A and B are shown apart, each in its own frame.
Chain A
Amino acid sequence: MASVLIESITKAYGLTPVLRSVSLSIADGEFLTLLGPSGCGKSTLLRILAGLEVQDAGSVSIGERVVDGVRPKRRDIAMVFQSYALYPHMSVASNIALPLRMRRLSALQRLPLLGRLLPRTTQIAADIGVEVSRTAKSLGIGQLLSRKPGQLSGGQRQRVAVGRAMVRHPAVFLMDEPLSNLDAKLRVQLRAEIKELHQRLGVTFIYVTHDQAEAMTLSDRVAVMLDGELLQVAPPQSIYSDPDNRRVAEFIGSPKINLLDGVMRERGLIDVAGSTLPIEADALAGTPLSLGIRPEALYLAEHAGQGVLTGSVRMVEHMGSDLFVHLDLAGIDQPLIARLLAERAPHIAPGQTLHVGARPDRILLFTRDGRRLRREADAVRRYVAPLREAAG
């Protein structure tokens, strides 16, 4: 059990910067996900934590101990790789046993034939065998111990990789996209198993993924990384509904958040796409703004008016309980996507003119350079409400 502290980590490959002064503190027992598109530096950060890669500057502490320059095996971490990295020539049992054999047996005791003749080797090996089969059983792979990795399915290999990581009870689990080689159905199943494993073991998990569904379902907190920078670290719900930054808002959520350019008309009113929305914002009249509207923040309106956007339907996607309606608005290239309840919007066809209203309290405002412009109501929700709750 250990907390992890990352301070101003910088890393470049040649002239290409990969990590730009990344700082992050992870609590003991927390499940933290590093989320970002491929090439954003999240795997590099994980490899630096593991000691497989050396940072150019900055420092990593695991459980109060600075581990810079400490070899991976002495960091009290375990890692699950995207490719599982199982040793193909060893049985499942030997794969899981290897970390224990390396730690508990001396180099002489590990020798193929001679090792067995040395005192205590048999005893230690037997203990290891017991632990290995206990671990395998807890993961439901007890019957596979004598197989080779080549004879296992993707899900079974993944479990063996997890077994090899947990067998020696590390303080921190590092997982590098452990589910991305599996098919969709198995991924959902193993996602739940990983969540359960975290709850059972209670140790710190640091999980790298590009899949937001994994990040949202598994994590206590999500750290969103883009271009080598940490943009926001927050619980999944806040990442989604209260992003700090336009890029975070764009990255999280499917379909993507609608971003509309608008201009502050006067206090409480913003001009956007030919209509005027009543939104409070701390900005001077004439200030250009970006409005972020999640598809589900839009609702079907009876007729045009203040706070209502009007456009013609380009396309309708039926998703069962919901409809995704793509609307062309006057003067805007990107279609506006609205997520409407199927039962409330029965007869929508392409070409039709449609009015949709936007709930003002769920519209996110960004400055044109991408910073979030928080309103008073947001501030109350974010800072005051928890205090009130805490007060009783």
Chain B
Amino acid sequence: MSEPRAFSTACHRSLTRRGASFLAVSPACRQAFVVAFAGYGLAGPAVFFLLVLFLLPVVGVFFIALTDWQLGAGSFSFVFLANYREAFADPTFRASLANTAVYVLIVVPGTLFGGLTVALLIESGKSCRSFYRAIHFLPFMATVTAMAIVWEALLHPTIGLVNQIFAAVGLSTANWLRNENTVVPVLGTIGIWQNLGYAMVLFLAGLKSIPRDLYDAADVDGADLWIDRLRTVTLPLLGPVSMFVVIVVALRALECFDAVKVLTQGGPGNASEVLLYTLYRESFEYLRTGYGAALAVIFLAMVGILTLINALVMDRKVHYQ
């Protein structure tokens, strides 16, 4: 604040006195100008790209969502909130919202619990740590589209390994991806499998940062059974990491798309329609861009709310400083 003001008071007089262009002003005055506006100049490129690549497209989406524009159409008319009204009245979209919610509710706790368990097991073991780390992290690195083929083979109703094992131990088998009761839980399991490694790596890093002294203190204080150590030291100190894992995995679960696209195409019926898949179908298969944009706005709102919760509520409860 003070620099631009200093610039204006220093230069104003000389500018008015000489009534000249910027080049004619004194070097000291030019120096003051450079100092005052260097900050804006340096931030400029980043601001430009943020505008062009992020903010303008978002504004564009908000705008398109108010129209009935179809991709490639030469004209459009404003329908205002009709797209949103249609979305919430549409059984497919409602099913899609419900399925996404169920999917997130399966994937987030499953990943959190599984990742933590694997991390604790790896941390407590002595041998082959990097091997276990690597194999659990692999699914996260692999593309789901490619790995979906493997899952499809595993879940095949007749020749699939899963059904053969179930049959061998006397459990009832199912056509996992074609049954409307099993399809979302199965997709959720694939989601857990995919994200587990990521959560595990974060938890391992979190475990490493817990001071040894705290475990020693817990030992002396009498909290020396594994469950007491877990409750007294490990879990509370993993609070910030767990929060991060919950938010990141929830966002990733909301973005679930490729497994649905490759394995089920939203079927049977609309039993495995999820938000992004519905959005994709409306926008790019039925070319209803305006309606798709409205779905994108709803999606954006959900992501925004989740991020806000992270920033406001949870952040205060899990950081201890």
Interface residues, chain A, with chain B CB atoms under 8 Å away: 47, 50-52, 71-73, 77-79, 81-83, 85-90, 98-99, 102-103, 107, 148-150, 164
9-residue interface stretch from B46-54, B228-236, B302-310: B228-236
Q: Are B216 and A89 in contact (CB under 8 A)?
A: no
Q: Are B219 and A72 in contact (CB under 8 A)?
A: yes
Q: Mark B171-215, 1 if CB is under 8 A from A, else 0.
A: 000000000000000000000000000000000000000010110
Residues of B contacting A47 in the complex (Cβ-Cβ under 8 angstroms): 216
Q: How far is the CA of A103 from the CA of B320 in the complex (A)?
A: 26
Whether B285 sits at the interface, judged by CB under 8 Å, is: no
Q: Are B219 and A99 in contact (CB under 8 A)?
A: no
A-B contact pairs, 22 of them (CB 8 A): A47-B216, A50-B216, A52-B219, A52-B220, A72-B219, A72-B220, A73-B219, A81-B213, A82-B213, A83-B211, A87-B214, A87-B217, A87-B232, A88-B320, A89-B236, A98-B221, A102-B221, A102-B228, A103-B222, A150-B320, A150-B321, A164-B221
Q: How far is the CA of A51 from the CA of B217 in the complex (A)?
A: 11
Residues of B contacting A98 in the complex (Cβ-Cβ under 8 angstroms): 221-223, 232
Residues of B contacting A73 in the complex (Cβ-Cβ under 8 angstroms): 219-222, 224
Residues of B contacting A82 in the complex (Cβ-Cβ under 8 angstroms): 213
Query: Which listed residue, A77, A89, A99, touches B237 by the CB 8 Å rule?
Result: A89
Q: Contacts A79-B217, A81-B217 known; A99 to B222 CB distance under 8 Å?
A: yes
Q: Which one of A47, A51, A102 has the greatest number of beta carbons of chain B within 10 Å?
A: A102
Q: How far is the CB of B194 from chain A (nearest CB, A)?
A: 31
Q: Are B213 and A71 in contact (CB under 8 A)?
A: no
Interface residues, chain B, with chain A CB atoms under 8 Å away: 211, 213-214, 216-217, 219-225, 227-228, 232-233, 236-237, 239, 320-321
Q: How far is the CB of A27 from chain B (nearest CB, A)?
A: 23
Q: How far is the CB of A4 from chain B (nearest CB, A)?
A: 16
The B interface is mostly helix, strand or loop, or mixed, namely helix
Q: How far is the CA of A78 from the CA of B217 in the complex (A)?
A: 9
Q: How far is the CA of A79 from the CA of B220 in the complex (A)?
A: 7
Q: Which one of B219, B227, B239 has the greatest number of beta carbons of chain A within 10 Å?
A: B219
Q: Are A71 and B217 in contact (CB under 8 A)?
A: no
Q: Contacts A81-B217, A85-B216, A85-B217 known; A102 to B320 CB distance under 8 Å?
A: no
Query: Which listed residue, B219, B239, B320, touches A71 by the CB 8 Å rule?
Result: B219
Residues of A contacting B222 in the complex (Cβ-Cβ under 8 angstroms): 73, 98-99, 102-103
- Nearest A-chain residue to B228, judged by Cβ: A102
Residues of A contacting B321 in the complex (Cβ-Cβ under 8 angstroms): 88, 150
Q: Contacts A83-B213, A148-B320, A150-B320 known; A88 to B220 CB distance under 8 Å?
A: no
Q: How far is the CB of A147 from chain B (nearest CB, A)?
A: 11
- Nearest B-chain residue to A53, judged by Cβ: B216
Residues of A contacting B223 in the complex (Cβ-Cβ under 8 angstroms): 98, 102
Query: Which listed residue, B213, B224, B225, B236, touches A85 by the CB 8 Å rule?
Result: B213
Residues of A contacting B217 in the complex (Cβ-Cβ under 8 angstroms): 79, 81, 85-87, 164
